[in-house]
Amino acid sequence: MYNKKTIEDVAVEGKKVLVRCDFNVPLKDGKITSDKRIVEALPTIKYLLSHGAKVILCSHMGKPKGEVNPKYSLAPVAARLSELLGKEVVLTKDIIGEDAKAKAAALKAGDAILLENVRFDAREEKNDPAFSKELASLAELYVNDAFGTAHRAHASTAGVAAYLPAVCGYLIQKEIGIMGKALSNPERPFVAILGGAKVSDKLNVINNLLGKVDTLIIGGGMAYTFLAAKGYGVGKSLLDESKIDYCRDMMKKAEEKGVKLLLPVDTTVAAGFPDPIDAPIDVSVVPSDKIPADKEGLDIGTKTMELYADAVKNAKTVVWNGPMGVFENPTLAKGTISVAKALAESSATTIVGGGDSAAACEQLGFADKITHISTGGGASLEFLEGLVLPGIACLEDK
């Protein structure tokens, strides 16, 4: 899974290369509000162009549900790419139609085109073999550099690999290199921190990590089901009653394996969830076994912040996925901030798995102090579960 051929392992000069990128950037009124994903794709694109490849870029954007929708056109991406590369990247009018075929055939070495949104064709998400074959017929080599969609078995992320030699770009190489090593051969102590609202989203991750880590830290809404499993009252806090037995089993499993399982020792509570989400809110901090019946736990408490930071201090490898509280609210973001700060100050290999945790590190200005921030929330979660990602499994092994 972790030892895949990269663009440097194959001859690319003079070859037409189909590159799957993740250009699913946020737009407002047709303007790109963050070009981070485009910038992250540049090393792979620049390598191919400078080595004389004829580059055919493709990506999805949004959820057009298999229909052509100008709102999801990749035109703004083509414009931004042209600026960043200092050379024109032409957008094709279709994906595998006459325009795409003509432009791909006319490509010169060192030039690039961008195919229109692959999800404008309903066959993309169905991983339709006929569509995959047509897409592959545009090129002689396939490069996947879209980690954010590597957990999807779609035509452009996996299907085309049945018809072309397939390797990874620098972005996927980095993801599987750093995360792969952390999971298969970590420097110890290895600490994992899991947060987020629902236990059910993280069931398999918890189970997989208990076989790998020295310490597992639980925060966020999912912590209350664990606290309930210990026999504590959790007031109006988020609780998944159907998973209480599961949490009990996991605590037992941790004990059997000699893994430290840390739960919040105190909790930041309020009368209810903030509405709107960023509204000022009155909070107090109570011990985790004394949550009042009429209060809701919305963040970890101050003692817990210290406990979790201490666990990170002594670690050599740390993986973090999911916020500690209602991160969108300034009053309830303190737990998440304290974890981000602990990772930033740590000398360990620190890995943040996409989504809200990544956003927290970016917003707080800690991003450059973290070893690796994953570009894919869903993909990094499935990676932590120990699942095989179709967009990586389809690539050739070294």
Token duo for residue 299: 């963040």
Give strand pairing partners of 82. none
Catalytic residue among 93, 101, 133, 198: 198
Token duo for residue 226: 């664990």
- Known catalytic residue: 335? no
- Known catalytic residue: 198? yes
Catalytic residue among 15, 37, 119, 334: 37
Catalytic residue among 52, 62, 110, 378: 378
- Known catalytic residue: 378? yes
Distance, in Å, from the CA atom of 383 to the CA atom of 392, rounded to the nearest integer, reads 11
Catalytic residue among 355, 376, 377, 391: 355
Catalytic sites, residue numbers: 37, 198, 355, 378
